[in-house]
Amino acid sequence: MRKIKYLVIFILVAFLLPAAAFAGWWVLQERPGSWRTANWSATGLLPPAAESPQAAIYVMAARTGGLKGALSVHTWIVLKPKDGAYERYDKVGWGRPVRRNAYPPDGRWYSNQPYIVRSMHGMQAERLIPAVRVAIDGYPFADNGDYTIWPGPNSNSFVAHVVNEVPDLGVLMPPNAIGRDFRPDWLRFEHDADWSDIRLFLGGYAGIALGRETGVELNFLGLVAGIDILRPALKLPGFGRIELWNTASAQSTRGRPAIEKPPSTTRVWPLTEPASGESR
């Protein structure tokens, strides 16, 4: 009984109290009453394409709409080929879910200001854009009806799929991007090529991740609590990532050019051989 009591207290302190605290603050904020009254306009966060000819890749995020915004952000991908225009890719919950250029590349999401999770420019971005396109085209949940708000596959599951398939992007998904840990298997174990990070997923409902890039993360019903040791920060449900000092960086060291094999994935149930080419 005592162990169960301690477990309940831990879940309360680590997951439920932070989520409730942020939700209490969120409901007091002024928000649009509906999708139609929300502001979806460009913010000027990204430079005009004509003024920035080099290739670029952005992973962006903004709080989602309604009460969901208390717990989760919405993420999307922006590509800009050399001397080309911006291309924005989102997954939404209606119709054909994966959309191209449905919104401005740096547009607000339900009136919420976006921010850049990760950016890459120049030759490195130019090299990776084809791989990102392949990952987008190969996303397995792109048909009508292939959207589940929780635990996934949702908008964040889509972006997580792309960055997992292209590990050289060096993207660490926001801890409050609910759906990023969705996996179609009930039980899946993943590890990086050098075993520096390991992850165990229970279908998106629960999980644990440990390692150099991840730090320590616990997933409970899609809420993530943890600590980043390499780039000191706390990860709290609702709040997301809280830097412990201004010099900390959320960028992954995977963004640097690498010659090693990409991270690999091993499914432990049902038991199969490691699936080469899959990654975090």
pLDDT tens for 37-90 read: 999 999 999 999 999 999 999 999 999 998 999 999 999 999 999 999 999 999
Tell me the pLDDT band of 250, cut-offs 50, 70 and 90: low
The gap between the terminal CA atoms of the chain, to the nearest Å, is: 37
Q: Which residue has the higher pLDDT, 227 or 263?
A: 227
Backbone angles phi, psi at 271, to 5 degrees: -70, 120
Q: For the segment 88-101, what is each residue's pLDDT rounded down to a tens digit?
A: 999 999 899 999 99
Asked whether the predicted pLDDT for residue 212 surpasses 70, the reply is yes
Using CA atoms, how far apart are residues 202 and 88, in angstroms rounded to an integer?
30
Q: Which residue has the higher pLDDT, 246 or 187?
A: 187
Using CA atoms, how far apart are residues 18 and 144, in angstroms rounded to an integer?
35
